[in-house]
Structure 1
Amino acid sequence: MTMVMATIDVASLHTAIPHTGGIKASKVLSMKGRTLLLLLSIWILLYIARYPEKFPALKFRSVVSETTTIPIIFVITPTYARLVQKAELTRLTLAFRQVPALHWIVVEDALQKTQVVRNLLQRSGIPYTHLSIQSLKDVRKARGTLQRNLGLSWLRETFYPEDAPEGVVYFADDDNTYSLEIFEEMRYTKKVSVWPVAFVGGLRYESVKVNMEGKVAGWFVKIFPSRSFAIDMAGFAINLKLILEKRTAIFRLDVAAGYQEPSLLQDLVTMEELEPKADNCTKILVWHTKTQTPNLRNDKNFTDPNVEV
């Protein structure tokens, strides 16, 4: 974790120097030292302002201590280059910019960060972190796994458990649709909160079974119901400090499709510790939507390929 501390002793800069017919060498050196300290302090502050992404811990500590009185929602979104990528991310931008105290961690499936995503994030008005890591060849069943894990690594490298801000971590894929309500539902998660997700698993919605005591007692799913945590990626959020304390908990690549979620959750919490949200999991606030691939059969050598869409 990188920390920069800079203090400018303003009072010392205004200390009167006695006029005794000349200035002693010691006072000249003192004046030079003060000037150098002032210049160095100004340079450090300007550098932090120019490159805030290099000092994430300093930035968040300032935000939490001075302006934010509610937990921060850290949204991790994997994304990859395709025709509808910008449209998908734009739709998320319109929702996320309305959520207070939200920090968006966008992780591209690419060797390098692209200008398309960089431009979108810079214009979004949302506090963000932009990362990239390319998936392994022939990995299709677990697309987004390396990207989500990189987002977790960034959080663990940025914060220590003992001085991290209050917050929650949510994995929001770029093709889903999110109600603004879901973010306020998850904000005060103690360990892991859960809720239904629509249009997943061949059902109108998947959910958890909640008993009369308001505790999760099972899974309302059709596909792989015997999973330790039969839940969709969009159906849970995790307290930030739990992520920081359980440093080895990650999404695993060596599991079958549909088992990435339990591969992480089983190292964090038990089923009895899950916290049902959305009116005891009776309200749908997240939709597992898919954007149709555009039909471009008439576009060969017609539109300008340099125009970003």
Structure 2
Amino acid sequence: MVMFTLRKLLYVYCCVSVFIILWLLNYHVTDKGEDDVLEERLDVLQKRLDDKHKLLEESKQKVKDYEEKLHKCRIFKPFQKSFNTSLPIIYLITPTYDRIEQKAELTRLYYTLLHVPNIHWILVEDSDRKTEKVQHFLANCKIHYTHLNVATPQQVKLKSSDPNWLKPRGVLQRNAGLTWIRASLDPHKDKGVVYFADDDNTYSVELFEEMRLTKKVSVWPVAMVGGLRFESPICDKNSVTGWGVYYRPTRPFPIDMAGFAVNLQLFFDHPNAWFSNNVQRGYQESTILKLLDITMADLEPRADKCTKILVWHTRTEKYNPKNEAKLKQKSGKGTDPNVEI
């Protein structure tokens, strides 16, 4: 009986031992298998993370490369507002020349034009090449523009000591703008107005809407010109009957360059209408209007029948950086010449 009991206990002990051993073996194998699975999953996740990090770095490089290309291209292809096809386009021809006040005056004019829909700015430098300063300025402009250049010959160019009325100014630059218009636009499709806007004048945004629907030649007063508070056409109802000017009122059209706009089609109809360096003082406007075959009856008074001032013939005072030499002498150097102003 005792032997049977011992055998039974031994049998139970062996069974329990085998069961424990099998359970331990099974636990160890299962535990190791889970570790392997987790390790494999971690490897997959790490690989995916590495791949995404690589893609991110590649994307960053692509963005950097694109920004560099965009910066280079913006000099030639700036962001531009779309034209409203229901409105005629105003082609603004502006002569400009290098001077210390140039960028300041172009900036002032630009921020006015920025508020004018359907405008194309034709900026023409008096230079034998397009300067970096003007190219940099135009690179940030958000309006349609064309950048041209033509140099005025020295024999007809104003000297710094000359009064501004001594010789014609901006003649070749305005003609370069007209050349571009005649070569680039289609007289059968393109409709609009041409306006000659100096870069040192001050313009109301309202002026451009006044000129937009010009049939032939629209006119209006100009302030701070001719030694008067303003010069103006004299109107009778919807017609121009005379001129409120002091200097040579007998001129065919005694009007300032800022005081009229011309329908685009007239420059196609009269291909020989150009400005000239060989005209008397004050006759530049009369010459171009006569070449366009304009008469007094063709003039269209604007600005509330020429009673409102919407353009001022302002001039920026010539700035003299007289202390540059003194500063250089005192400290060994002046202001940084590489900083564009």
> Do both share a fold (TM > 0.5)?
yes
Say if 1:160 and 1:244, in contact at 8 Å, map to a contact too: no
Selected match of 1:112 from 129, 139, 157: 129
Aligned to 1:235: 259
The answer to whether 1:179 aligns with 2:204 is: yes
User: How far is the alpha carbon of 1:250 from its aligned partner?
Assistant: 1.0
1:154-179 deviations in whole A, cap 9, x for unaligned?
A: 0000123222x220000000000000
Aligned to 1:154: 180
**Is 1:136 aligned with 2:153?**
yes
Residues 274 and 52 (structure 1 numbering): CA distance in 2 closer, same or farther, change over 3 Å? Answer: farther
User: Which structure 1 segments of 5+ residues have no match?
Assistant: 1-49, 55-62
Count of matched residue positions in the alignment of Structure 1 and Structure 2: 249
- 8 A Cα contact 2:74 2:140, kept in partner: no
Q: Calculate the TM-score normalised by the size of structure 1.
A: 0.77
Report how far residue 281 of structure 1 moved: 0.2
Q: Residues of 1 paired with 2:88 and 2:200: CA distance?
A: 25
- Within a 5 Å distance, the mapping from 1:138-287 to structure 2 comes to 138-139=155-156, 140=158, 141-163=167-189, 165-211=190-236, 213-268=237-292, 269-287=294-312
Residues 1:51 and 1:124: Cα distance change in structure 2 (over 3 Å): closer
Q: Do the aligned partners of 1:53 and 1:129 also contact (CA within 8 Å) in 2?
A: no
The equivalent position to 2:107 in structure 1, one of 90, 97, 101, is 90
CA distance in 1 between partners of 2:143 and 2:129 (Å):
21
Query: Which digits, 9 at most, give the CA deviation of each residue in 1:33-72, with x for residues without a partner?
Result: xxxxxxxxxxxxxxxxx79989xxxxxxxx66xx421000
C-alpha displacement of 1:102: 0.4
Match of 1:266, SS state, is helix
The equivalent of 2:14 in structure 1 is none
SS in 1 for 2:140: helix
The structure-2 alpha-carbon separation of the partners of 1:87 and 1:51, relative to structure 1 and needing over 3 Å to count, comes to closer
Give the SS at the match of 1:299.
Answer: helix
Describe the SS at the equivalent of 1:206: strand
Query: C-alpha displacement at 1:192, in angstroms?
Result: 0.3
Which of 76, 85, 90 is the equivalent residue of 1:68?
Answer: 85
Dislocated runs of 4+, deviation >2 Å: 50-54
Q: Is the 8 A contact 2:245 2:254 kept in 1?
A: yes
User: Separation in 2 of the partners of 1:256 and 1:200?
Assistant: 18
- Alpha-carbon distance in structure 2 between the residues aligned to 1:152 and 1:114: 21
What residue is the counterpart of 1:14 in the other structure? none
Q: State the 1:136 CA deviation.
A: 1.4
CA distance in 1, matches of 2:185, 2:76: 14
- Distance apart, 1:138 and its partner CA: 2.6
Give distance in 1, aligned partners of 2:74 and 2:276. Answer: 33
Name the SS for the 1:91 alignment partner.
helix
Q: What root-mean-square deviation, in Å, do the aligned CA atoms of Structure 1 and Structure 2 show?
A: 1.9
- CA distance in 1 between partners of 2:153 and 2:136 (Å): 26
Between structures 1 and 2, the one with greater helix share: 2
Amino acid at match of 2:94: T
Could you tell me which amino acid in structure 1 is paired with residue 337 of structure 2? P
**Partner letter of residue 216 of structure 2?**
K
Q: Give 3-state SS (helix, strand or coil) of 1:253's partner.
A: coil
Return the offset for 1:306: 1.1
What is aligned with 1:99?
116
CA deviation map 1:266-300 (0-9, x unaligned): 12211111000000000000000010112311112
Q: Which moved more, 1:238-247 or 1:106-115?
A: 238-247
